[in-house]
Amino acid sequence: MSLDAASRATVDALKARVAALAPAAFGRVAVLMGGESAERAVSLDSGANVLAALRSRGIDAHGVDGLGALLAALGGGEGGDRRPVDRAGFDRVFNILHGGVGENGVLQGALDALGLPYTGAGVLGSALTMDKIRTKQVWMAEGLPTARFVRIPPGGDLAAAVRSLGLPVFVKPSTEGSSVGVFRIVAEADLAPAIAFARSYPGELLAEQMISGGEYTVGILGDVALPSVRIVPPGDWYDYHAKYISDDTQYHCPGLDGDDEAAIRALALAGFRAAGCRGWGRVDVMRHVDGRFLLMEVNTAPGMTSHSLVPKAAGAVGIGFDDLCLAILAQTLEVQRA
Catalytic residues: 39, 178, 244, 282, 284, 297, 299, 303
DSSP strands (E only) in the chain: 28-33, 60-65, 92-95, 149-152, 169-173, 183-185, 205-209, 215-221, 224-232, 250-252, 280-287, 293-299
Task: Give the Cα separation of 285 and 273 in Å (integer).
Answer: 15
In 3D space, the residue among 293, 297, 298 whose CA is nearest the CA of residue 145 turns out to be: 293
DSSP strands (E only) in 260-313: 280-287, 293-299
Alpha carbon of 200 to those of 135, 156, 203, 204, 322: distances in Å? Answer: 24, 12, 9, 11, 42
CB 59 within 8 A of CB 329: yes
Cβ neighbours, 10 Å, residue 89: 12
The phi and psi torsions of 285 (rounded to 5 degrees) equal -135, 140
Name the β-bridge partners of 297: 284
Task: Give the Cα separation of 326 and 211 in Å (integer).
Answer: 36
The phi and psi torsions of 184 (rounded to 5 degrees) equal -100, 120
User: Which sign does the torsion angle of CA 203, 208, 211, 217 carry?
Assistant: negative
Amino acid at 323: D
